[in-house]
């Protein structure tokens, strides 16, 4: 304290005005779905990038430097005393000192915005750096809309924003999910002539990406005069977030080439691994894994966790376990990813054992861990174990079940045929059931042909105003399974009246790093003639092997032969036929399906795995099916 008083007393006289501008570190960029920092330049990078706005620290007087250092390092109570001294002297007129104190108050970990606002109002002539500090502080707060007030006030006072001002207020638009605000700021950026600032433009790209305006984000990218790794990463994030996963993989290829001048970094790898996981692109994911090892990222915890998730979602739980086993450090995310991977690939009991090993290692499970272990119980029909884990959440670990945990239990009970218990559990939930949970039970009604309960669930979905095409398809399945074709006709008529259109089934298979996509009756593939010839040959061989078409999977009131013909050209069958055609005997065929695979396609893959001595792995909307030697890992329980 004596040192503070001594330092304050050493500054009794007015300080002359300085032109030194202290710039804050530029904004960080975030990606979707899990949001992590794409880049956060250091203060040195910020000063270099905006050098036309800054001057060297040497312009600060020797008498000011100790006070600025003290401000940066002192506690809140000492800041108040320094503030009081500034008010009693002319020190507040120094832009450098006032900015240092404002920055500490507004942007330190213990920032106080109300105090920042009071101090800002006492600054005689706030400059652009003062305004930028307030704009950034509010962009990081729970009141990001306040950034606009300072942005407008700055302009009214004749101070032109710089790229930092615009980037911070754009970040506020992202926080508020405001596309309109972002469009207004974008217009100002163009009128101010700041479109050449690459860091600012990547923030705009991120805004458009989050608002699902992928084409607008791409347009901003195309108009950038300089594209660094950050900009390319945002373009990967945009494609992944908006479902254009194959475009995301293409960006990685471009970055690896010499065409763009920017090499992939660890963030690029995270984003591409997510795209590979979504698409089931194993070969591409393995390429990324090799890149990670070659560039020294192999021990990065977040990358290892992403690799576990990627391999698991590509049906390679063995490779996921190899990554997991080789990690020098494992956190709860690592264990949860491994447990979920085992669960989704049909290794329910192994997932439970991994959960118990995690506890023995002293890792405390979180809500994601329990989602994984409850999913393992659901996919493996372990009802008693499911109830045990569900009850232990709140009793032993103080984790209150959320909708995902209840959803796993409803799925577990529904698959086991305990439909009334599942329904009662939904009604007794402490949280409000969402549409996904009702759909889960509706799917169980389809499996067990429970018409009455299925109709009741549709009523709940109508009350939530959340009914979708898939709900009506499930209802159609229920009615057709009991040959109630009059109800099928009624539902189809209702769907037509409401303009409800179904999502077409789509299956993908990867070959030599290229993802091939198929829909029902697809004729778009360049090898379509060969594929259909192969599918006909497979059909004949499988009938010899005992395959009989499951015509109940076709929901139209047609003859058995007509139904069988329609079922013959489902998207996963075309994908499998292409796999048989294009790969050597014995090669595993991996297919990703956007919808739940039907009973007939499941039987088709099961018989084919035995007749052709092929392992076939199908990832549908809910789980993996590993077909080997005429059997499936789900034991026909899905």
DSSP collapsed to 3 states, 149-169: HHHHHHHHCCCCCCHHHHHHH
Task: Name beta bridge partners: 617.
Answer: 590, 626
Q: Are 126 and 102 in contact (CB under 8 A)?
A: no
Q: Could you report the average pLDDT of every consecutive run of 10 residues in the chain (638 residues)?
A: 45 34 28 38 37 40 70 72 76 82 84 87 91 93 90 91 92 90 90 88 90 90 87 89 87 82 88 90 92 91 96 92 94 96 90 95 94 91 93 93 93 92 92 86 86 87 74 79 81 80 84 87 91 94 89 61 76 95 94 87 94 93 88 79
Q: How many Cβ atoms from other residues are within 10 Å of residue 246's Cβ? A: 16
Task: Domain ranges for the chain, please list them.
Answer: 1-11+64-113, 413-502, 508-632
pLDDT of residue 48: 38
Strand partners, 516: 509
- What's the rounded Cα separation, in Å, for the pair 83 and 469? 63
Is 573:524 a contact under the CB 8 Å cutoff? no
10 Å Cβ neighbour count for 502? Answer: 13
Residue 77 pLDDT: 67
Phi, psi of 592 (to 5 degrees): -115, 130
- Per residue in 151-204, pLDDT (tens digit) is 999 999 999 999 999 999 999 999 988 899 889 999 999 988 888 888 899 999
Instruction: Give the pLDDT score at 70.
Output: 72
Instruction: Identify the pLDDT of residue 84.
Output: 77
Distance CA 613, CA 608 (A): 8
Give residue 387's pLDDT: 96
Cβ neighbours of 548 (radius 10 Å)? 11
**Segments in 108-162 forming alpha helices (H):** 113-122, 128-139, 146-156
How does strand 616-619 pair with strand 589-593? parallel
């Amino acid at each position: 304290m004596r040192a503070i008083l001594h330092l304050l007393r050493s500054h009794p006289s007015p300080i002359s005005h300085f032109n030194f501008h202290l710039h804050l570190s530029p904004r960080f960029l975030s990606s979707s779905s899990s949001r992590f920092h794409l880049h956060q330049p250091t203060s040195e990078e910020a000063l270099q990038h905006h050098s036309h706005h800054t001057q060297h620290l040497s312009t600060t007087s020797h008498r000011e430097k100790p006070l600025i250092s003290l401000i940066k390092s002192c506690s809140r109570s000492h800041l108040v005393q320094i503030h009081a001294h500034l008010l009693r002297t002319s020190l507040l007129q120094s832009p450098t000192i006032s900015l240092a104190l404002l920055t500490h108050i507004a942007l330190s970990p213990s920032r106080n915005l109300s105090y920042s606002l009071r101090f800002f109002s006492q600054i005689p002539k706030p400059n652009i750096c003062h305004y930028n500090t307030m704009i950034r502080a509010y962009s990081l707060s729970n009141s990001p809309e306040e950034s606009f007030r300072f942005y407008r006030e700055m302009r009214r006072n004749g101070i032109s924003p710089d790229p930092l001002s615009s980037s911070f207020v754009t970040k506020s638009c992202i926080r508020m999910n405001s596309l309109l605000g972002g469009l207004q700021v974008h217009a100002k950026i163009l009128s101010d002539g700041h479109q050449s600032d690459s860091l600012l433009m990547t923030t705009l790209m991120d805004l458009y990406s989050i608002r699902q305006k992928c084409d607008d984000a791409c347009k901003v990218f195309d108009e950038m005069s300089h594209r660094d790794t950050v900009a390319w990463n945002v373009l990967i994030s945009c494609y992944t977030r908006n479902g254009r996963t194959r475009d995301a993989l293409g960006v990685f290829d471009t970055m690896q080439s010499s065409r763009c001048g920017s090499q992939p970094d660890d963030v690029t790898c995270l984003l591409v691994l997510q795209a590979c996981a979504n698409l089931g692109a194993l070969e591409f994911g393995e390429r990324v894994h090799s890149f990670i090892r070659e560039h020294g990222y192999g021990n990065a915890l977040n990358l290892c966790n992403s690799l576990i998730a990627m391999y698991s979602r590509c049906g390679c739980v063995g490779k996921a376990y190899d990554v997991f086993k080789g990690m020098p450090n494992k956190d709860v995310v690592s264990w949860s990813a491994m447990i979920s991977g085992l669960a989704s690939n049909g290794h329910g009991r192994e997932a439970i054992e991994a959960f118990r090993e995690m506890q023995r290692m002293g890792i405390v499970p979180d809500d994601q861990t329990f989602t994984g272990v409850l999913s393992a119980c659901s996919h493996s029909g372990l009802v008693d174990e499911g109830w045990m884990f569900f009850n232990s959440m709140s009793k032993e670990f103080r984790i209150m079940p959320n909708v995902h945990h209840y959803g796993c239990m409803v799925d577990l009970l529904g698959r086991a045929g305990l439909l009334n218990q599942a329904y009662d559990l939904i009604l007794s939930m402490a949280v409000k059931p969402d549409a996904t949970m009702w759909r889960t039970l509706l799917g169980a009604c389809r499996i067990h042909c429970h018409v009455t309960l299925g109709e009741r669930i549709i009523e709940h979905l109508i009350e939530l105003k959340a009914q979708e095409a898939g709900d009506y398809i499930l209802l159609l399945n229920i009615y057709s399974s009991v040959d109630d074709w009059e109800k099928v006709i009624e539902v189809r008529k209702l769907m037509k009246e409401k303009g409800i259109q179904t999502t077409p089934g789509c299956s993908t298979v990867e070959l030599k790093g290229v993802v091939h996509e198929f829909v029902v009756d697809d004729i778009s593939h360049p090898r379509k003639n060969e594929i259909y010839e192969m599918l006909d040959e497979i059909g004949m061989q499988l009938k010899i092997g005992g395959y009989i078409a499951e015509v109940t999977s076709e929901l139209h009131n047609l003859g058995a032969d007509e139904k069988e013909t329609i079922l013959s050209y489902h998207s996963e069958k075309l994908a499998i036929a292409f796999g048989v055609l294009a790969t050597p005997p014995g090669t595993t065929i991996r297919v990703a399906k956007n919808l739940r695979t039907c009973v007939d396609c499941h039987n088709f893959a099961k018989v084919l795995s035995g007749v052709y001595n092929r392992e076939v792995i199908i990832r549908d909307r809910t789980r993996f099916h590993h077909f080997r030697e005429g059997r499936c890992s789900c034991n026909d329980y899905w």
